[in-house]
Amino acid sequence: MNFRSRCAGIAVILATVLTMGSAVLDANGLPFFKPANGGKVDLVYVGQIKDQDGNLLRNVELSVATTNRFMYEITFDQDAPGHYRSPDVGVLVKEAYQTVNPNEITIVARKYGYRTVIRKAPLRTSGTLRVDIWMSPDDGQAPIIEEAAPAIEEKTSLDVVFFGAGVLAIGLIGVAARRASRHPSTTDSTPAAA
């Protein structure tokens, strides 16, 4: 097997792995509710829903509520077991001719057998923000009201592209360095004098 066919094989394998990796990473909720016509996300909440033992929860009723009297509660379903992604709350608020005020927004999670969790939204007015929810078994107590955690902005699929390009560049540099460090052949093509 010559050098070119080995390089071509490695390139095909690398391209396949990067393509598969980007599809797996996108399955973490990022492609859902993407804005139409390639527009930007205004304000979306994503996160995981787990119990106290760290198990992913299914069939959780979710909503984004606001104390603004001109707005309504936005209910939505989970996009995967233990994961959610809200509709674009920023667009919905602006369509109602209101301004986005994160002090008025809460994320509510309800599940039979568990205490209702009311999580205050991070103090950001735009972007894809991660808000994880931890639920505990229902013991007859009042709902759990949690303060807003610092906003964690979700990564986009462009990060995967840049990562793949970086890995490819490092691979090409390694191949070039190996090729340049090879010693020339020591065999002499002129016949020896007798």
Residue with tokens 């606001």: 66
- Residue spans of the domains in the chain: they are 36-153
Which one, of 102, 1, 108, 111, lies nearest residue 60 by Cα? 111
The pLDDT tens digits of the residues spanning 49-107 come to: 999 898 999 999 999 988 877 778 888 988 888 899 898 888 888 888 888 888 889 99
Of the candidates 163, 84, 94, which has an alpha carbon nearest to the alpha carbon of residue 128?
84
Residue environment code for 80-94, b if the CB has 16+ CB neighbours within 10 A, otherwise e: eebbbbbbbbbbbbe
Distance between CA atoms of 47 and 49, rounded to whole angstroms? Answer: 7
- Note the pLDDT of residue 102: 87
- What's the pLDDT score for residue 154? 54
- The confidence score (pLDDT) of residue 31 equals 46
pLDDT at 18: 67
CB 62 within 8 A of CB 131: no
Which of the 8 DSSP states describes residue 59? Answer: S
- For residue 30, what pLDDT band results from cuts at 50, 70 and 90? very low
Coil, strand or helix at 104: helix
Which pair of structure tokens corresponds to residue 57?
């929860």
What's the pLDDT at 56? 92
Q: Is the pLDDT of residue 152 over 60?
A: no
pLDDT bin (cut points 50, 70, 90) of residue 187 is low
- pTM of the predicted protein model: 0.58
- Span 94-121, mean pLDDT? 88
Contacts of 100 (CB under 8 A, 6+ apart): 42, 43, 89, 90, 93, 94, 125, 126
pLDDT value of position 28: 47
Long-range CB pairs of 72-78 (<8 Å, 24+ gap) are: 73/108, 78/49
Q: What is the CATH number of domain 36-153?
A: 2.60.40.1120
Instruction: Select, from the ranges 109-118, 164-173, 182-191, the one with the highest average predicted confidence (pLDDT).
Output: 109-118
pLDDT score at 83: 92
